[in-house]
Chains A and B, each alone.
Chain A
Amino acid sequence: AQSVTQPDIHITVSEGASLELRCNYSYGATPYLFWYVQSPGQGLQLLLKYFSGDTLVQGIKGFEAEFKRSQSSFNLRKPSVHWSDAAEYFCAVGGGSNYKLTFGKGTLLTVNP
């Protein structure tokens, strides 16, 4: 069975500080990994994805994530957080022709001025 763990329910950072959101997954085959962001009352916006190849992937809004197979992790990073990054972030795993995405419980990011 596939699963995703996001250990941090809520993270608070100061504007301009660096950010790392953790994600660990369980998947029986080569995983497809995704990070989505959700603002209050909105749908999910895709930040970045990993399908294959380079394990460091770049996304929108200055985010990047690194796939580490040995650690079953896909952590999201940003070098300098902006107040507009405050939102909830979801890590998800799926695979190939399996369209079922399994999501983590999400990490709520608060940005202090």
Chain B
Amino acid sequence: KAGVTQTPRYLIKTRGQQVTLSCSPISGHRSVSWYQQTPGQGLQFLFEYFSETQRNKGNFPGRFSGRQFSNSRSEMNVSTLELGDSALYLCASSLEAWASGTFYNEQFFGPGTRLTVL
């Protein structure tokens, strides 16, 4: 089974521009989550989508937005880029499953998109 794929792998933008990142989950996974990784703040949760609906949202400004399509693919958008938005953006997909009374939702991560804002 193919893993989580993210495109593009690298991006360079300038301040004030906007950017769209794409994530294709593992086949059959319906939940997609996004994380931002920076040296200073570490890994931080952005948002999570399931069946085209945002179910969870982290503590990020409204410049960060996302969506999910009917095929579970997801995009995130950052508008009015700032220098501090430079980061590795990671997407993770999850297959929800119940077994023996336990809810399983382990997340599998893609390789990330490295965004540099100049």
* A residues apposed to B, CB below 8 Å: 32, 34, 36, 41-46, 49, 51-53, 90, 92, 94, 96-106
Number of B residues near A (Cβ < 8 Å) is 28
Evaluate contact between B90 and A103: CB separation under 8 angstroms.
no
B contact residues around A32 at 8 Å (CB): 105
Main secondary structure of the interface of A (DSSP, over half): strand
Evaluate contact between B56 and A100: CB separation under 8 angstroms.
yes
Cα(A94)–Cα(B94), bound, Å = 13
Could you show 8 A-B contacts with beta carbons less than 8 Å apart?
A: A43-B4, A43-B90, A44-B109, A46-B107, A94-B105, A96-B103, A99-B31, A101-B43
Evaluate contact between A34 and B106: CB separation under 8 angstroms.
yes
* B residues apposed to A, CB below 8 Å: 4, 31, 33, 35, 42-43, 45, 48, 50, 55-56, 58, 90, 92, 94, 101-112, 114
Evaluate contact between B48 and A100: CB separation under 8 angstroms.
yes
Evaluate contact between B109 and A51: CB separation under 8 angstroms.
no
Evaluate contact between A44 and B103: CB separation under 8 angstroms.
no
Evaluate contact between A103 and B42: CB separation under 8 angstroms.
yes
Evaluate contact between B108 and A99: CB separation under 8 angstroms.
no
From B43, B101, B106, B110, A103 is in contact (CB under 8 Å) with: B43
